[in-house]
Amino acid sequence: MEINIKHKTIICPICQRDDSVQKITAAVSSGTMTGSFSGPTSTFTSDGNSFKPGFGFTTVSGSARSDLAKLLSPPPKPKERRYNQGCGAATLWFVVLLGGFILIAVVLGEVLGEMGGIFVGALIICGIGIVYAVQERDYRKNELPELMRAYRKGMKRWERAYYCYRDDIVFDPNDGKTCSPDSLITDFYYSDMVR
């Protein structure tokens, strides 16, 4: 039984050589380091008069990327929501809106009377909420689908792209398109997206 595997040699379109060419996914992977440490630890605490030893077990993990791996990283995935929706953001919005409502009610209360200030303040805060909701709906309906299509297309290009260390360029062997690593997002992944 004979296995015949044909390899297509990928060469750099600038230097016309293959000795410094690497698939971009491999370049990112080789430039990314991760690690962890687990083990016993000791500490000393002081109450001002004496030191007391303490013992425990610590687990620490982390990762680091080379500058090149950061530049060659895949295109960022579009956010599902235009505005941050986490608990911290919700709390901040609540505090800002409540503070704005109180400020508006107090200021307008001087002019319109207490109930008038509260009513107008509530209308303004509701108006802000409606504007926010409409913007979020429009983003999800109109912008997000286009961004997701462009993202999927950009990911396909990233998966087939190569990097030449000698010429410091990224290229797509399918269509011959090239760009520098620092302009991957605009000139390579999303180059055909209407802005």
Nearest Cα neighbor of 149 from 107, 190, 185 is: 190
Token output for 20:
């410094």
Q: What would you report as the CA-atom Rg of the chain, rounded to the nearest whole angstrom?
A: 28
pLDDT score recorded for residue 68: 92
Q: Is the pLDDT of residue 21 over 90?
A: yes
User: Cα(122)–Cα(110) distance, rounded to whole angstroms?
Assistant: 16
pLDDT in tens, 33-63: 888 878 887 777 777 787 778 777 888 888 8
User: Cα(131)–Cα(99) distance, rounded to whole angstroms?
Assistant: 18
Q: At what angle do helices 114-138 and 87-112 cross, to 10 degrees?
A: 140
pLDDT in tens, 92-145: 667 777 777 677 666 666 666 666 666 666 677 777 777 777 777 777 788 888
User: Cα(40)–Cα(13) distance, rounded to whole angstroms?
Assistant: 53
